Structure 1
């Protein structure tokens, strides 16, 4: 089983962007970015748009670890 934790906040800060700036750059509403920063929920289209705006892979928006069953 995998444990998946959002890492969007780290990627966003590494890019030097606020949530509002990332929203403008990606076309994803700031509220959706805020929700994603707090949980692993997000639509595929928004995840792809965010990854493209940050010039990273979608997978890099998560911390993926093997978890004990």
Structure 2
């Protein structure tokens, strides 16, 4: 099995009507880190925890997780 994880921060922000600056203010995560969140493969644990706490989102809302069999996409 292979897991593919795709961040969905922009969708969360859009749903809340928040800017990255607003989330940065509420979460303490630097705005430049937020601007790259959906395009990077690795995230600091504290960034994820702070974003989840500030937005009230679940992990499943913040990240789209897909399972595939190895070698099949």
Q: TM-score range by the shorter chain?
A: 0.7 to 0.9
Tell me if structure 2 keeps the 8 A contact 1:5–1:39: no
**TM-score w.r.t. structure 1 length?**
0.87
Tell me if structure 1 keeps the 8 A contact 2:10–2:38: yes
Give the C-alpha shift of residue 2 in structure 1: 0.8
Unpaired runs of 5+ residues, structure 1, are: none
**TM-score w.r.t. structure 2 length?**
0.83
Q: CA RMSD in A?
A: 1.3
Mapped partners of 2:9, 2:66: distance in 1? 16
Deviation per residue, 1:9-60 (Å, 9 max, x gap): 1111111111111101111100111121222321000100001111112332
Question: What count of residue pairs does the alignment treat as equivalent?
Answer: 69
Work out which of the two has the higher radius of gyration on C-alpha atoms and give 1 or 2: 2
